Amino acid sequence: MRPAMLLSWLAMILAATALPAHSAEGKFTAEEATTLPPMELKPTIRRLFEAKSIKVKDPAGNPFCEVWFRKSVPGKATPEQIKNGLTYQEIPPTTVVAAIRFDQKAKDYRKQEIKPGVYTLRLATQPQDGDHAGTSPHPDFCLVVSADKDDKPDLMEPKSLHDLSAKSLGMGSHPGVFLLFPNNKPKPKPELVDHGMGHWVIKVVLHVDVSGKPASIGIGLTVVGTAEG
């Protein structure tokens, strides 16, 4: 194949796999990839994921993180809820939603440092108390747990998840949290969306198993972005 033809062919392949980023040049970008789940994950957790990921690059084009979303998550919902569209409230708290590898230092929503490495992401809802009032635009989050500390995919007590996440950060008593935006009208293919104020959100559709009945839910995972102030 001639060099010019080869370059043209490669450009077509890259264009087909790049995710829409809804951004100006120099912002975070993402693309779909065929990548096996990280070996750092425990085997019982690793098997929850397919060899499909979303790779995010920083404004300089360097690898920032890579995310694997679960093949299917369990749900509890009525037929009416399924018809109207599932929300995070129909997914049991502490459910494993995704796995993430940070290629460089990152910050969670509370501006806590997240070291490079592999983590699981488990669903959690912000406590409805005075300490958390007005601290985020939405109450749903994913908590990060170091892959070496997350032994099995079972649900756990919320307090246990909080403690395990805090230990994974190794800097205090607060877990590592990543904000979830609602995604009520998910598109068929994943996309990286700029939500403003420095928030970059991966939006995907996940399969949901509701007592053996297939359903789906839109996920909006913030991979870049912190609380104001």
Long-range Cβ contact pairs of 166-171 (< 8 A, separation 24 or more)? 168/119, 168/144, 169/108, 169/112, 169/113, 169/114, 169/144, 171/112, 171/113
Determine, yes or no, domain membership for 86: yes
Q: Which two tokens stand for residue 139?
A: 């109450």
- Please report the pLDDT score of residue 88 as a whole number: 96
What is the token pair recorded at 103? 């290629």
Res 1: pLDDT: 42
Is residue 3 situated within a structural domain?
A: no
What are the mean pLDDT values of the chain's consecutive 10-residue runs (229 residues total)?
A: 36 42 65 98 98 97 98 96 94 98 97 97 80 66 98 96 96 93 93 94 97 95 91
Instruction: Please answer whether residues 98 and 122 qualify as being in contact, where contact means their C-beta atoms are separated by less than 8 angstroms.
Output: no
Q: Tell me how far apart the alpha carbons of residues 163 and 54 are, in angstroms, rounded to a whole number.
A: 28
- Find tokens 């409230």 and name the residue: 89
What one-letter code names the amino acid at 40? E
Q: Which residues contact 106 (CB under 8 A, 6 or more apart)?
A: 64, 65, 113, 114, 223, 224
Give residue 16's pLDDT.
36
DSSP code at position 165: H
Q: What is the DSSP letter of 229?
A: -
**Model pLDDT, residue 128:** 59
Is 103 within a domain? Answer: yes
- Residue 137 in domain: yes
- Position 23 in a domain: yes
Residue 9: inside a domain: no
pLDDT at site 137? 76
Query: Rounded to two decimals, what is the model's pTM?
Result: 0.86
CA dihedral 67, 70, 71, 77 (to 10 degrees): -140
Q: Which residues of 154-167 are buried (b: 16+ CB within 10 A; e: fewer)?
A: ebbebeebbebbbe
In a domain, 131, yes or no: yes
Number of domains in the chain: 1
Q: Which domain holds residue 88?
A: 19-224
Q: Determine, yes or no, domain membership for 1.
A: no
